Amino acid sequence: MTTTAQTTTALITGASTGIGARYAQRLAERGYDLVLVARNQQRLEQVAARLRAETGRKVDILVADLTQGADLRRVEERLASDASITLLLNNAGLGATASMLDSSVDDLDRMIALNVTALTRLTRAVVPCLVARGQGTIINISSIAAVAPEVLNGTYGGSKAFVLALTQSLQHEVGAKGIRVQAVLPGATATEFWDHAGVPVAHLPQEIVMPVNDMVDAALAGLDQGEVITIPALPDSADWDSFENARRALGPNLSHTRPAPRYIAALPDAA
């Protein structure tokens, strides 16, 4: 990632710990000023103070619960009004390991509000500004659950599949307008996510758990290499290419005037 003498600012959600805090460090080291967004003011202030001291960058904090309308609108307004913001990192998210039957509807609703609604609104707030300037970056933290929904709570997997689809659509829409778009699909990562999701990370098979620093550094390497989809643990990118090619191959046959022949015999007027 290159920077210029012009001030560039990255706004990072979920920035008080884990993946967001590591991104904040790495982006500050790359020359970005920062706007850090999270609910926990004390943690935000600690991260901001450390990064100011270590990197000399300007670091602002926005204390906000993105599931609350008024807080979400404040962050949207910052994205739409701050001309220095050239990178949005949609990292804030909620997960769950319990099945739908064992989950409360309020918990599922809150997950959708954060993982889907807030991410969409923040992206929509910044995209017109980036397009008008002809440059910028949007990084969306998805999950391997986007393509493997059986591994965790289905609502979580569905919300992350939405993030993946939105990113791919954005690439199609604004990729030629100077905007870099990336979805990152981490596997199990050593963060507090798992404690909140209901299974402490120590209870997972440790051979599948990636240290958070390695995950973020790999994701940034993928961004530097121009990847739209980055799966930090995937050894061979050709596997993703094969997956995508198979999906795209469905395209010509997804919409026709008549049902597929295997369904014709079941139609009421088939006789």
AA identity, residue 170: L
Q: What is the pLDDT of residue 206?
A: 79
The answer to whether residue 1 scores a pLDDT higher than 80 is no
pLDDT band for position 167 (50/70/90)?
Answer: very high
The total of other beta-carbon atoms located within 10 Å of residue 184's CB is 29
Residue-wise pLDDT for 246-260, tens only, equals 999 999 999 999 999
pTM of the model: 0.91
SS3 content of the chain, % helix, strand, coil (to 5): 55, 15, 35
Q: What is the pLDDT of residue 82?
A: 97
Cα–Cα distance, 141 to 48 (Å, whole number) = 21
The answer to whether residue 271 scores a pLDDT higher than 70 is no
Helix, coil or strand: residue 3: coil
Cα–Cα distance, 211 to 173 (Å, whole number) = 33
The total of other beta-carbon atoms located within 10 Å of residue 208's CB is 10
pLDDT band for position 270 (50/70/90)?
Answer: low
Mean per-residue pLDDT of the chain: 92
Cα–Cα distance, 76 to 192 (Å, whole number) = 26
Q: What is the pLDDT of residue 214?
A: 94
Q: Which whole number is the average pLDDT over 7-33?
A: 96
Q: What is the pLDDT of residue 195?
A: 65
* 19 touches 213 (CB < 8 A): no
AA identity, residue 114: L
For the question of residue 32 being annotated catalytic, the response is no
Residue-wise pLDDT for 216-240, tens only, equals 999 999 999 999 999 999 999 999 9
| Residue that the structure tokens 């210029």 belong to | 4
AA identity, residue 236: D
Name the least confident of 62-66, 172-176, 258-262, 267-271. Answer: 267-271
- The residue count of the chain comes to 271
Domains within the chain, CATH numbers bracketed: 9-265 (3.40.50.720)
Cα–Cα distance, 116 to 267 (Å, whole number) = 38
Q: What is the pLDDT of residue 194?
A: 60
The answer to whether residue 102 scores a pLDDT higher than 90 is no
Residue 158 tokens read as: 């569905």
Q: What is the pLDDT of residue 57?
A: 98
The total of other beta-carbon atoms located within 10 Å of residue 191's CB is 22
Is the pLDDT higher at 204 or at 209? 209
Residue 89 tokens read as: 């990192």
The single residue of 23, 32, 156, 263 carrying the catalytic annotation is 156
pLDDT band for position 5 (50/70/90)?
Answer: very low
Q: What is the pLDDT of residue 69?
A: 97
Q: What is the pLDDT of residue 197?
A: 59
Burial of 50 (0-12, 13-18, 19+ CB in 10 A): middle
Q: What is the pLDDT of residue 42?
A: 97
